[in-house]
Structure formats: structure tokens, C-alpha cells
């Protein structure tokens, strides 16, 4: 999307070479975390699949850990904590 719109340089996409400069303004910030380049370049296909799987399982069956491998369990625990933190910030 950014490349089609010509925004990859403005949003400092992590997929392109960026000149080393001093301090830069944040491109993305939330909940006390800020980064100076687009966060989309850090999201892998695997992590996107884990997030989707987490929400599908959570909605359909609850998070059952019996049929998950260790990597999935770790990801789901992290996502559950992040979701709880997000929900407490909204309250």
C-alpha cells in the first residue's frame, strides 16, 4: 500500500535502505512504545498467521493449549497478555 502511494520514504519503511541520521520523529507510537520506522516491516507471515490463529481459536473454542506446539503456546500467552493490557487501557 505504501509503495503504491509513494509513502515508503516518508514513513521510513524498514524494507528500504535509510540514511543514518540523528534523531527522527516517531512514525508509530502506542502504549508507551514508539519506533522511528514503519512497524509493518517487522511483521512476518508467521507472526501474522499466529495472530489470526489466536483470535480464531479464542473466539471459536477458547485457547486450548493441548494441540499447540511450544512456539504457538508462547505466542498465544504473549498475545493474551497484550490483549488484556489493551483492554485495561480502554477501561
**pLDDT per residue as tens, the chain (91 positions):** 555 665 555 555 655 555 555 556 777 777 777 777 677 667 788 888 999 999 998 888 776 778 888 999 999 999 999 899 888 888 7
Three-class secondary structure of residue 36 per DSSP:
coil
Model confidence, pTM: 0.61
Pairing outcome for strands 33-35 and 28-30: antiparallel
pLDDT of amino acid 11: 59
Indicate the SS3 state at residue 58.
helix
Strand partners, 28: 35
Residue 79's pLDDT is what?
A: 92
CA 47, CA 76: separation in Å to the nearest integer?
11
Domain limits of the chain? Answer: 1-39, 43-91
Amino acid at each position: 500500500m505504501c509503495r503504491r502511494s509513494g509513502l515508503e520514504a516518508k514513513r521510513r519503511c524498514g524494507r528500504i535502505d535509510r540514511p543514518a541520521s540523528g534523531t527522527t520523529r516517531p512514525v508509530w507510537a502506542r502504549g508507551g512504545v514508539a519506533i522511528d520506522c514503519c512497524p509493518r516491516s517487522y511483521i512476518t507471515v508467521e507472526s501474522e498467521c499466529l495472530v489470526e490463529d489466536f483470535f480464531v481459536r479464542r473466539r471459536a473454542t477458547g485457547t486450548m493449549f493441548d494441540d499447540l506446539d511450544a512456539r504457538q503456546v508462547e505466542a498465544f500467552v504473549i498475545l493474551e497478555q497484550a490483549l488484556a493490557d489493551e483492554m485495561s487501557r480502554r477501561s
